[in-house]
Amino acid sequence: MSRNLTADLAADLRTRIVDGVIQPGDKLPSENALMGEFGVSRTVVRSALTRLQAEGLVETERGRGSFALTPPDDGPQPFPGSRPVASVEDRLHLLEFRMGVEAEAAALAARNHSDRQLRAVNAALEQFTASSDHPGHAMKFDFEFHRAIAAASGNPFYTDCLAALGQTMIAMPRTRLMTGVEHYARDHFDQVVHEHRSIAAAIADGDETAAAAAMRSHLANSRRRFKASVRPPAGEPLNADPM
């Protein structure tokens, strides 16, 4: 019976996150609130939250509660053989993969983009820049920026690859979930904006080498920032920290 209650609660919260009722970065109801709403025990609530953590939908900060991360993309189903991004190690591997794929896509975008495609890149960049106070929108337009560059490459396989990865390829910066680091979070966001602008400028200039280098640098920096943000206590392995 307990397992069914856990599954029911997890399913309800999952639906709220996927449907956008609970946005990325939003705090979930407290354990006490969920216990009262669903008439379940604290053990059931914690089991449901643990399940959502394993799925990469929820991050729990000790003493502060649980927060929604990026919901699954509602577009095409992942391609056969694709892997879920369910751990820190998965996220780091994904960023390494993206470096190879997206650096070349940016170089091709510099060579092949149309005026319409360049406008789409710049529109996503400006929407991302304007979303600093809304984590959910920031993650959406971050993904749209990278997807617009893939489309501008002129090679549909790059577009298909990013569509298959979906918005879950964009990690929620953990500084968004922590108190006392607001200035750091803003500096982090401003740095990403600067990196995105460098990529877009190189594409607009038609400089293939600079576009590839700017994209590779951006994703390498993203990997470094993410790795630093999840560094575990001494003696604890990196992949022990759930996404």
pLDDT tens, residue by residue, 27-41: 899 999 999 999 999
Contact assessment for residue 67 and residue 59, using Cβ atoms and an 8 Å cutoff: yes
Angle, helix 156-165 to helix 88-112, in steps of 10 degrees: 150
Give the model confidence (pLDDT) of 121-161 as tens digits.
999 999 999 988 777 778 889 999 999 999 999 999 999 99
- Residue 85 scores a pLDDT above 80: no
Stated pTM of the model: 0.68
Per-residue pLDDT tens for 175-209? 554 444 455 567 888 999 999 999 999 999 999 99
Let me know how many helices (H) and strands (E) the chain has, helices first: 9, 2
Residue 112's closest CA among 16, 211, 13, 27? 211
Contact 23, 16 (CB under 8 A): no
Helix (H) or strand (E) holding 58: strand 58-61
Task: Please give the single-letter amino acid code of residue 129.
Answer: T
DSSP run (H or E) holding 74: none
Q: C-alpha distances in angstroms, 107 versus 45, 87, 116, 211, 214?
A: 48, 30, 17, 5, 10
Strands (E), the chain: 58-61, 65-68
Q: In this model, does residue 97 exceed pLDDT 80?
A: yes
Check if the beta carbon of residue 27 is closer than 8 Å to that of residue 37. no
